[in-house]
């Protein structure tokens, strides 16, 4: 897999002399917009050279305080300022994260040829969480997928400096956290963006093993023969239509002193043609992203280990390719899942819940304190919540609240949907223990009800449906690129931080 490395990030107290561009903010205030983060020396130089304040210079060249806006503004002595809209003057870490992402994307677009630019982010970041937001937003914003080309991809940003008057271990730790988390998001994005002829179950499993080699993780990969022996009927059925056989990857992280055990389960359908319930052609084009859940849990587990968080993590990634062929599974087939439960298959294009069900049962055997599954599971969730908000369904409100708190801290949008008894009733089967699908109404809820059947009673569980935000088919915005977004990684890491001993 070709890679573009993250640029180095440093924490500095003053503007670096080698900075090519400086990102500052413009915020809304009661009387007039306020320029945030302009270094004193640049303010003085602006007044001397242009006869106006840096704020007036910014407004003159089209800068706005509106969140999401950005403008290139001529600064003193040939230095270019990038002025980003912050919105309200009482900025949050997420506002800074988005502003830094906007600024760095614009800065990267100004790089000429092979000459990468050095960028300083000066947004008056003082608290560690705001420093982390600035560094994280900048790193996430300068991501780009390395094109599969004879011409090697080169970085557009050579270095990032976070200007802050705050020093000390907490501030430095904030930058380290941002680097590890952004690196994990980049990894997930790269996997989602890879074409399916290069990323398939076996190659995905091998890349996962390679990606976590430097972390203190145990790795186990089950191939189709091992899964057949153990009875993973869901994963084997879904992968049965492809010549590229399925895999189940298990990662384990067991740090000293950990008292909480978190299990993560990710959907890894490397390409989803729908099986015999074949998708329309236009709907199939982006189905290389159907492994985004597996990418998220693997990448998050690596980050948790790199950061040395004191929480035990067991991660399962269920990988298969869902294609139509003479060996593909059929609607009305009855499958015997891992653990023995039987499932009447309702639709071969509802394959994700089948591979997840097998992995959930296996994850529960490790006796975790909490199981979270992450999947691009239903179009119904996109219909309900749109393309930028993920769905959350949980066994209980306390578990849901804990995850929502982590998502808010990470800056990712989740919305809790209900677990309703009537959703489970739609899954009653006359020929098996349960049917995999209901009718067309409330599809996100029935899929969650199905998964819930494979988690033991009393074990806290949550299901994250990331079908909408996992792949951005629009243009880049804030720190989110077009293509794979890496959604879910930051929330899982933030959750692990909150669960530490």
Q: Indicate the residue among 140, 170, 190 that finishes a domain.
A: 190
Q: Do residues 156 and 212 both lie within one domain? A: no
CATH code, 64: 3.40.220.10
Q: Indicate the residue among 163, 190, 217 that finishes a domain.
A: 190
Q: Do residues 212 and 161 both lie within one domain? A: no
What is the reported pLDDT for 133?
Answer: 97
Q: Do residues 315 and 434 both lie within one domain? A: yes
Q: Do residues 123 and 67 both lie within one domain? A: yes
Q: Do residues 269 and 412 both lie within one domain? A: yes
What is the reported pLDDT for 148?
Answer: 86
Q: Do residues 137 and 255 both lie within one domain? A: no
The number of C-alpha atoms within 13 Å of 470 and in the hemisphere containing its C-beta is 33
Q: Do residues 176 and 209 both lie within one domain? A: no
For residue 195, tell me if it sits in a domain.
no
What is the reported pLDDT for 147?
Answer: 82
CATH code, 464: 3.40.630.10
- One digit per residue, the tens of pLDDT, for the chain of length 501 reads 556 689 999 999 999 999 999 999 999 988 889 999 999 999 999 999 999 999 999 999 999 999 999 999 999 999 999 999 999 988 899 999 999 999 999 999 999 888 899 999 999 999 999 999 999 999 999 999 988 877 777 889 999 999 999 989 999 999 999 999 999 999 999 999 999 999 999 999 999 999 999 998 999 999 999 999 999 999 999 999 999 999 999 999 999 999 999 999 999 999 999 999 999 999 999 999 999 999 999 999 999 999 999 999 999 999 999 999 999 999 999 999 999 999 999 999 999 999 999 999 999 999 999 999 999 999 999 999 999 999 999 999 999 999 999 999 999 999 999 999 999 999 999 999 999 999 989 999 999 999 999 999 999 999 999 999 999 999 999 999 999 999 999 999 999 999 996
**What digits encode the pLDDT tens for the residues 47-96?**
999 999 999 999 999 999 999 999 999 999 999 999 999 999 888 999 99
List residues with catalytic annotation: 279, 353
- State how far the Cα of 403 lies from the Cα of 382, in Å rounded to an integer: 20
For residue 196, tell me if it sits in a domain.
no
Residues in CB range of 99: below 8 A, 6 or more apart: 23, 25, 67, 84, 85, 86, 91, 123, 137
For residue 182, tell me if it sits in a domain.
yes
What is the reported pLDDT for 5?
Answer: 82
For residue 272, tell me if it sits in a domain.
yes
Q: Do residues 183 and 208 both lie within one domain? A: no
Domain around 62: 9-190
What is the reported pLDDT for 238?
Answer: 98
Q: Indicate the residue among 141, 163, 190 that finishes a domain.
A: 190
Residue 22: strand pairing partners: 81, 120
Residues in CB range of 103: below 8 A, 6 or more apart: 23, 70, 82, 84, 119, 121, 138, 141
For residue 318, tell me if it sits in a domain.
yes
Q: Do residues 384 and 304 both lie within one domain? A: yes
Q: Do residues 248 and 362 both lie within one domain? A: yes
**What digits encode the pLDDT tens for the residues 152-208?**
778 899 999 999 999 899 999 999 999 999 999 999 999 999 999 999 999 999 999
For residue 211, tell me if it sits in a domain.
yes
For residue 3, tell me if it sits in a domain.
no
Chain-centroid distance of CA 342 in Å reads 33
Q: Do residues 250 and 137 both lie within one domain? A: no
For residue 2, tell me if it sits in a domain.
no
Q: Per the structure, how many domains does the chain have? A: 2
Structure tokens at 377: 């599971």
What is the reported pLDDT for 3?
Answer: 61
Q: Do residues 393 and 257 both lie within one domain? A: yes
């Amino acid at each position: 897999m070709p890679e573009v490395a993250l640029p180095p990030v440093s924490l500095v107290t003053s503007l670096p002399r080698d900075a090519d561009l400086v990102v500052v903010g413009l915020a809304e205030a009661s009387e007039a917009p306020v320029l945030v983060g302009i270094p004193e020396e640049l303010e003085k130089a602006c007044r001397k050279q242009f006869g106006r304040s840096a704020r007036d210079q910014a407004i003159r060249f089209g800068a706005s305080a509106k969140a999401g806006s950005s403008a290139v503004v001529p600064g003193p002595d040939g230095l270019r300022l990038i002025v980003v809209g912050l919105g309200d003057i009482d900025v949050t870490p997420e506002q800074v994260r988005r502003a830094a992402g906007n600024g760095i994307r614009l800065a990267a677009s100004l790089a000429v040829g092979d000459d990468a630019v050095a960028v300083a982010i000066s947004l008056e970041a003082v608290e560690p969480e705001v420093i982390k937001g600035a560094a994280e937003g900048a790193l996430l914003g300068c991501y780009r997928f390395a094109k599969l080309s004879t011409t090697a991809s080169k970085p557009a940003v050579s270095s990032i400096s976070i200007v802050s008057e705050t020093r000390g271990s907490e501030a430095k730790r904030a930058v380290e956290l941002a680097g590890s988390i952004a690196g994990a998001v980049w990894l997930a994005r790269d996997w989602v963006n890879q074409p399916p002829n290069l990323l398939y179950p076996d190659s995905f499993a091998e890349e996962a093993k390679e990606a976590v080699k430097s972390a203190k993780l145990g790795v186990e990969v089950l191939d189709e023969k091992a899964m057949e022996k153990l009875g993973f009927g869901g994963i084997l059925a879904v992968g049965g239509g492809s010549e590229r056989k399925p895999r189940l990857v298990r990662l384990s992280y067991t740090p000293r002193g950990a008292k909480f055990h978190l299990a993560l389960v990710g959907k890894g359908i490397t390409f989803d043609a729908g099986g015999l319930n074949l998708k329309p052609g236009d709907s199939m084009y982006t189905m290389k992203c159907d492994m985004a859940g597996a990418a998220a849990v693997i990448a998050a587990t690596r980050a948790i280990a790199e950061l040395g968080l004191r929480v035990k993590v067991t991660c399962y990634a269920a990988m298969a390719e869902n294609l139509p062929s003479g060996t593909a599974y059929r609607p009305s087939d009855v499958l015997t899942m891992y653990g023995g439960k039987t499932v009447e298959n309702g639709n071969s294009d509802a394959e994700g819940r089948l591979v997840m069900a097998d992995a959930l049962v296996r994850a529960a055997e490790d006796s975790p304190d909490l199981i979270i599954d992450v999947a691009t599971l239903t179009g119904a969730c996109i219909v309900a919540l749109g393309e930028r908000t993920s769905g959350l369904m949980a066994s209980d409100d306390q578990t849901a609240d804990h995850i929502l708190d982590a998502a808010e801290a990470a800056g990712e949008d989740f919305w809790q949907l209900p677990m309703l008894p009537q959703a489970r009733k739609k899954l009653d089967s006359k020929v098996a223990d349960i049917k995999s699908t209901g009718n067309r109404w409330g599809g996100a809820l029935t899929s969650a009800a199905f998964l819930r059947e494979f988690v033991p009673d009393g074990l806290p569980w949550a299901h994250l449906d990331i079908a909408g935000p996992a792949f951005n088919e629009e243009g880049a915005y804030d720190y989110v690129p077009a293509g794979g977004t890496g959604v879910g990684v930051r929330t899982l890491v933030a959750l692990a931080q909150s669960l530490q001993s």
